[in-house]
Amino acid sequence: GNVGQFVQDFPLCMQILMEGVQQNHHLRYSGRQQLSLFLKGIGLNAEEALKFWQQQFTAMGPGSMSVEKFNKDYRYSFRHNYGLEGGHIHYKPWDCRTIISKPGPTKNEYHGCPYRDLHRDELSTRLQQLGLEDDTRLGEVLELSERGEYQTACTKVFELVNRERIDSCLKQGVKVDESSIVHPNQYFDRNRYLDEH
């Protein structure tokens, strides 16, 4: 399927990476790893993944490259993430702890955790774009981020963005997992679960 149609179910870290690759037709190493293993986790197979990355890197626009260059420089590493090259290792999508243990993004990088890595103003704008307009709630998320409680901030955002859907499940007696987010793929799965109920 088309990855773009699921972006609204992605956690903010992955939404930012998607934007990064769409704008630059490229992502640097950490961003490629963070996003490609996440996409593997949501169910993209090796063939679909290669198609996605090739499309992104070769689409018309600034920074884009030829298909030949893509095949020469990048094909191997995306296949490697699927255990199809090199040591044939099964690489797992990064959990939040792994993401947060790595150095944050520098200029022109998009990996990391936005609750840690974005400046307050930028995070605030992003949260408003997600639909968090209430000052108090937005302030709570910013405060959690500033205290270093990134995963709690992310969990809170999930709850605030999905409040109505969560309440409607609970009203129908449908179970909802409200434990802390510890993995970007868990955030996605939780969204898909709500989509289906």
Q: Which residues bind ligand SF4 (CB under 6 A)?
A: 11-13, 96, 99, 113-115, 150-151, 154, 181, 184, 187
Considering only CA atoms, which of 141, 136, 175, 171 is closest in space to residue 158?
A: 141
Shortest approach of ligand SF4 to residue 73 CB, angstroms?
A: 27
Shortest approach of ligand SF4 to residue 181 CB, angstroms?
A: 6
Output 30 or 50, the one with its CB closest to ligand SF4. 30
Output 85 or 95, the one with its CB closest to ligand SF4. 95
How many beta carbons lie within 10 A of that of residue 161, not counting itself?
17
Output 65 or 161, the one with its CB closest to ligand SF4. 161
Considering only CA atoms, which of 188, 195, 197 is closest in space to residue 39?
A: 188
Q: What is the DSSP letter of 180?
A: P
Shortest approach of ligand SF4 to residue 81 CB, angstroms?
A: 18
Shortest approach of ligand SF4 to residue 112 CB, angstroms?
A: 7
Considering only CA atoms, which of 79, 33, 72 is closest in space to residue 184?
A: 33
**Which 3 state secondary structure label does DSSP give 53?**
helix
Output 75 or 137, the one with its CB closest to ligand SF4. 137
Rounded CA Rg of the chain = 17
Shortest approach of ligand SF4 to residue 2 CB, angstroms?
A: 22
Tokens found for residue 170: 């609970």
Output 41 or 83, the one with its CB closest to ligand SF4. 41
DSSP H helical segments within the chain, as ranges? Answer: 12-24, 29-41, 46-58, 67-73, 75-80, 96-101, 114-117, 120-129, 135-146, 150-161, 163-171, 184-196
